[in-house]
Structure 1
């Protein structure tokens, strides 16, 4: 359920709501009209740039969510390649585990996406296969931190070296991990590098309204060099009103989302984010141990952050039937198609749900054992 909401406690929700409603009517597009809102937005972006180790040249923009952040990164890379390399029909090469938003953005931008199968046993991007898929029209490669299907980090350091060898833009999709992984690393977990301290990383998408724990919709698109924003900027003057300019794909933007992001980040601080990270990782460990203890089930390895998949390892146990039985018990089940399994994405609120979830899962396994395979409907397969 974490794909839809992220919850810590009632007090944090109160902070979100009070800050959001304080700027309920303000339009974040009007930064001259609302200078206090501009200040809040600048400080949120500065906090994101600092957390993700951007150099002094770094820049950012506040977006409505991960889809817009990814779209703007692709737009910037496309326009830069068009201006500097004359490429009119760009190609983007990425691992098959990358988010569908890259294909959606490519549809709007007139780009072609090449998805490279992930054949490694560790479920990470195959850097060699990505390199073999490059063409003279390739402008961008992508790595996830972590990927959404399996919750593992692509080898960003290797992808960065590949991008530098070929003069390509490397985008890191950290919509899930951007505001969680740095804190998990501080707890002592082995989180691989993915931030701007990795040579070759050009842009990062990181969602505030996921593990930044802020209100919807809030995300950042961050650049290694703010000078590249000239390729992101839309400018227009051919009307009576004069110049119109915007760095985002939106016009009007809700000021409440900016204010809530600022309030939450300052309210939580390092201690609060470490508390969230500790709760999530502790919950995952308890769930993984409990699921692996149920005969016929096994958690797919590896998994490195807040996402994992479990599946049936018993030929007589259909995981689709298990999922249906869990649904009848009131759980919202995320179904994985390849391999067939159940997909979990955790947030701090799940800490209190471990025991009832495991109890219902054990009962669902017994109910489903020996039943005929169940084919899920197409809508049930969407996340």
Structure 2
């Protein structure tokens, strides 16, 4: 008898014949969660951005209150406008600036590219030609994802000796089909800012859009600068910057599903919208990629901004900067390891092995076995560590574990297998 292969997505569960109690469901959820990383304890390199239990409670309570409501009710409309009013000044936005709330950095970047393409089509009177975007090789892959969906070419170019995108390399790849220059503040692989003042001047002279991806640093860099950190100019204070994406669900300490895309001139947002009326129901208008959006994410982001205020964000950022400084100093003090320079400019640190007897991939595997999930870098081969407030308390334990793992790998001549999918 031929038995068909089991479907890979139909494993171990069927719809219950009768509904189960919440107590039973809750117990199952808790059991499943038991194997997850201790993200509150600082054992993840990124993905989660835990500040403290009080902020976490505000997140959850606000989300719960709006958990079944869509964006579009008067309450969410008011909260969105207030989020924009609170956020835009952090990015030196002019009075005529506008913003949209999205579900994450990928959607924010998508919206910026769609808006830039629509504006470019009108300015060049070219509705059907294929355009290109020029970006440093360190740009986030969401750029290519969005460009693939919109049939736009992405040209990635080399960075300089500090791994920063710069004007000379970008300009060499531009032509008359270039619609956008893309920069990062900072780039995710190395945590360094592209040379955005250079790129702003280039974009202005070429008459093209400059988007700044600040999904990581957007709600960190403004407060770091106020704390005296030497942050380069990267926001709307730089002439030529057309749009900025910044994630509220990173260092804005909102729950997942909260990001902003901001525009120097709100008038361009007419290109951001999708409008359709060629069906029986009537006109359909959507301000961004998703149709229905959860009001819970909006309410939670608004509540966290209100709860923390500037003082709270300054305190959170101080913790991030201190944890980053401890990480850089601690790694550099371990024989056989060193941080890739510039190190820790915006809470991302990459470190590598300087000892042929220490396989850095094996070090990462040893740490994972001890409960420390680490990102792995391919070029250069190393460990990638994002820093958030949760890492401050655990930093001493982590550095001791890192030193022990390094010595274990050296003493036992352990080699590892690089995992392409650690991000």
Shift of 1:4: 1.4
1:161 equivalent to 2:201? Answer yes
Distance in structure 1 (CA, Å) of the matches to 2:251 and 2:158 = 28
1:203-248 Cα offsets, whole Å, 9 max, x none, are 0000000000011110000000111011111111112221111111
CA root-mean-square deviation: 1.0
Question: In structure 2, what is the Cα distance between the partners aligned to 1:48 and 1:84?
Answer: 30
Structure 2: gaps (5+ residues): 1-43
Structure 1 position 53 matched with structure 2 position 92: yes
Aligned to 2:143: 102
Contact between 2:97 and 2:263, CA under 8 Å: does it hold in 1? Answer: yes
**Distance in 2, Cα, partners of 1:168 & 1:243:** 32
Q: Distance in 2 between matches of 1:41 and 1:310?
A: 40
Structure with max Cα Rg: 2
Does the Cα contact within 8 Å between 2:45 and 2:375 map onto a contact in 1? no
Show the 5 A alignment for 1:284-303.
284-303=324-343
Are the aligned partners of 2:91 and 2:236 in contact in 1 as well (CA < 8 Å)? yes
Give the aligned partner of residue 420 of structure 2. 378
TM-score normalised per structure 2 = 0.87
CA distance in 2, matches of 1:197, 1:127: 18
Q: Which residue of 1 aligns with 2:57?
A: 14
| Residue of 239, 243, 255 corresponding to 1:215 | 255
Residues 1:368 and 2:412 are matched in the alignment: no
Is the Cα–Cα contact under 8 Å of residues 105 and 246 in structure 2 kept in the other structure? yes
Q: Give the Å deviation of 1:378.
A: 3.2
Q: How many residue pairs were aligned? A: 376
Question: Of the candidates 314, 325, 328, which is equivalent to residue 355 of structure 2?
Answer: 314
- What are the residue-to-residue correspondences of 1:71-220 with 2, within 5 Å? 71-87=110-126, 88-118=129-159, 120-220=160-260
8 Å contact 2:340–2:352 — kept in the other structure? yes
Aligned equivalent of 1:24: 67
SS in 1 for 2:49: coil
Q: Does structure 1 residue 354 correspond to structure 2 residue 395?
A: yes
**In the alignment, is the contact (CA less than 8 A) between 2:46 and 2:385 conserved in 1?**
no
| SS, match of residue 308 in structure 1 | strand
TM-superposed CA distance for 1:377, in Å, is 3.3
1:118-167, Cα deviation, whole Å (9 max, x unpaired): 2x221101320110100110000011000000000001111000000100
